[in-house]
Structure 1
Amino acid sequence: MNLTKLRYVVAVDRQGAISAAARALNVTQSAVTKAVADVEQDVGAALFERHARGVTATAEGRAFIDRAARILADVDQLVADVDHGRQTREQVLRIGVSPSSMEGLMSRAIWALVGAHPEVRIHLRGAPFETALQLFRQGDLDALIGPSRPLMAEAGVRCDPLPPLNALFFVRRGHPLAGKPVTGEDLAGLPLIVPEPSGPYAEPIQHLVQAGEVDPMRRLHIMPSFTMAAGVIERSEAVGVVVDSYAQSRHFRSRFEILDFPQQTSLPMAVAYRSGGQRGRALGWFLKAVQEFPPTLGAEMP
């Protein structure tokens, strides 16, 4: 006995005829007839009395059918409650961004998403890559924006490519190195500010911090917050790293200068999300927004 057969039996009772129940259920009359016969065999009693105009429930059938109807109603309510809960969860979208300094570059995508779908609630979290990846693995993030190569190596994950991240060195306006060609030796004696000390974002500058006899970590400021790093750079001789998309903005150019240093290799980026199961509506909306306004292309912080 299964729920489908119970639905057929309840439909026969409500319609008063097997043929009418078949039409209401949009199935064949033989399917309904067989379902009724199967349930009667399982119960060990006749559920209906057959007559020329249709059927009526027997005494035993009446008790069984009424209880079956209550069970089906409970099941339908349970499914509706689960679906409502799923839709409610879809309204909260948990997005990871790595490194944290890229959080501000998500502004245009988030503005577009919330503007078009005000019912969505965004939980945006920036973190070092290894931390963000662990959060994503354990289900605490619905999507993660980061370097594509390690994300594509994750099992059960789909990655949509984004424009690559191009990192540039920058300093305060009036810095001694501003406005002239710069070499690695010129940077060797200056403190560097990076969002994280290791991982894919640190690779382009590892050869710089490893030069010389000084412990590389003693040369670094590690500041995930771009706002904090920018404040230090404005007040010191320190050198920072900025995404080239933001480096083109008027706000950045009014405060800082890009060093004339050979550009590092571009880092392919992607937005990752789980490939299994049905993709939620809110996630689909976010993926569309981040493709239209990728954080590594044409970004403008508020």
Structure 2
Amino acid sequence: MNLSKLRYVVTVDREGSISGAAKVLNITQSAVTKAVADVESDLGFSLFDRRARGVAATAEGRAFIDRASRILSDMDQLVTDAQTGRESRDRVLRIGIAPPSLEGLMNRAVRHLVLTRPEVRVQLRGTPFEAGLQLLRQGDLDTFIAPLNTLLGMSGFITEHLPPLRASLFARKGHPLTGRRLTPREIAQYPIISPDISGPHVTPIIGILDYLEGDPSRSLHILENFPMASGIIERSDSVGVVIDTYVQSQTFRSRFEVLDYDMGDPLPMVLAYRANMQPSRAMSWLRAALKAHPPTAAGGSTL
């Protein structure tokens, strides 16, 4: 016995005839007749008394049909609720990005998504990696953008590759460090501003600070706000960190210079989501926005 046969039985009762039910269900009368016979065979009693002008439920049939009707109603409501939930998921997209200093890289993609899909509500949050991973696991984030190496070996997630990030050090125009290949010891003589102490390109900076005494992390200025950091760098001998493609903007080149120092290989980035969660339409729209405006495109923000 299946739900389709139950629906046929309930429709026969409501329409009062096999022919009426077949017309409503848009199937043949023989298919309805067989479905009713199959259900009666499974139950071991007749559901209907056959009459010249239709059918009428038997006493046993009435109790069964009324209960079947309630079951079908509950199933229909379940499907409706699931569809409503799906529509809600399609309207709200919760995006996490780690570390928090990378949040500005999403500016162009999020702007594109919001302007082209006004029905979507975007909730973007920068988060430390461990916190973001936990939010994704428990369903409080729909997707998580993070360095690939932080997700290696993690089960239960699907990852999609994004363009890698390359970092550079930069300083004000005319800084004493400009114009030559630099050593870590030379850079360590100047204040360094980093957007965080857990970001993807902190390791090369810590390598520079190893030339100083004490805890390297205590020798850093930690400023996530790029306008604040760049304002300080422009007016002092401090050195900062920036996404390499951002330096192509005219605004950046008019104010700063990239220092000749190797910050290591580009960092692979991924968009991750739970393997047991079917991506919503909003996720497909986010993918399209990221393709049109990659996080590493000029006009992004700092690390």
Is 1:238 the counterpart of 2:238 in the alignment?
yes
Identity among equivalent positions (%) equals 53
Asked whether the equivalents of residues 152 and 159 of structure 1 are also in contact (C-alpha less than 8 Å), the reply is: no
**Alignment partner, residue 161 of structure 1:** 161
Stretch of structure 1 that moved more, 267-276 or 246-255? 246-255
**Alignment partner, residue 84 of structure 1:** 84
Could you list the per-position Cα deviations for residues 7-49 of structure 1 after superposition, in whole angstroms to 9, with x for gaps in the alignment? 23202223444466467265844344202443x43xxx53210
**Alignment partner, residue 34 of structure 1:** 38
Q: After TM superposition, give the deviation of residue 92 of structure 1 in Å.
A: 1.2
Asked whether the equivalents of residues 9 and 35 of structure 2 are also in contact (C-alpha less than 8 Å), the reply is: no
Q: After TM superposition, give the deviation of residue 252 of structure 1 in Å.
A: 2.0
Structure 2 Cα separation of the partners of residues 184 and 139 of structure 1? 43
Alignment of 1:115-264 (within 5 A): 115-198=115-198, 200-264=200-264
RMSD of aligned alpha carbons: 2.6
CA 1:36–1:290 in 2, change beyond 3 Å: closer, same or farther?
A: farther
Q: Could you tell me the TM-score, scaled by structure 2's length? A: 0.86
Asked whether the equivalents of residues 165 and 243 of structure 2 are also in contact (C-alpha less than 8 Å), the reply is: yes
Which runs of 5 or more structure 2 residues have no equivalent in the other structure? none
Alignment of 1:68-83 (within 5 A): 68-83=68-83
Structure 2 Cα separation of the partners of residues 177 and 201 of structure 1? 20
Stretch of structure 1 that moved more, 120-129 or 11-20? 11-20
Structure 1 Cα separation of the partners of residues 8 and 263 of structure 2? 70
**Alignment partner, residue 285 of structure 1:** 285
Stretch of structure 1 that moved more, 285-294 or 51-60? 51-60
Stretch of structure 1 that moved more, 101-110 or 48-57? 48-57
Asked whether the equivalents of residues 152 and 158 of structure 1 are also in contact (C-alpha less than 8 Å), the reply is: no
Could you list the per-position Cα deviations for residues 130-151 of structure 1 after superposition, in whole angstroms to 9, with x for gaps in the alignment? 3323332332211111111222
Structure 1 Cα separation of the partners of residues 275 and 151 of structure 2? 12
Structure 1 Cα separation of the partners of residues 299 and 52 of structure 2? 76
Asked whether the equivalents of residues 22 and 32 of structure 1 are also in contact (C-alpha less than 8 Å), the reply is: no
Asked whether the equivalents of residues 101 and 196 of structure 2 are also in contact (C-alpha less than 8 Å), the reply is: no
One-letter identity of the residue aligned with 1:130: E
One-letter identity of the residue aligned with 1:252: F
Tell me, what secondary structure is at the counterpart of 1:254? Answer: helix
**Alignment partner, residue 111 of structure 1:** 111
Tell me, what secondary structure is at the counterpart of 2:151? Answer: helix
**Alignment partner, residue 55 of structure 2:** 55
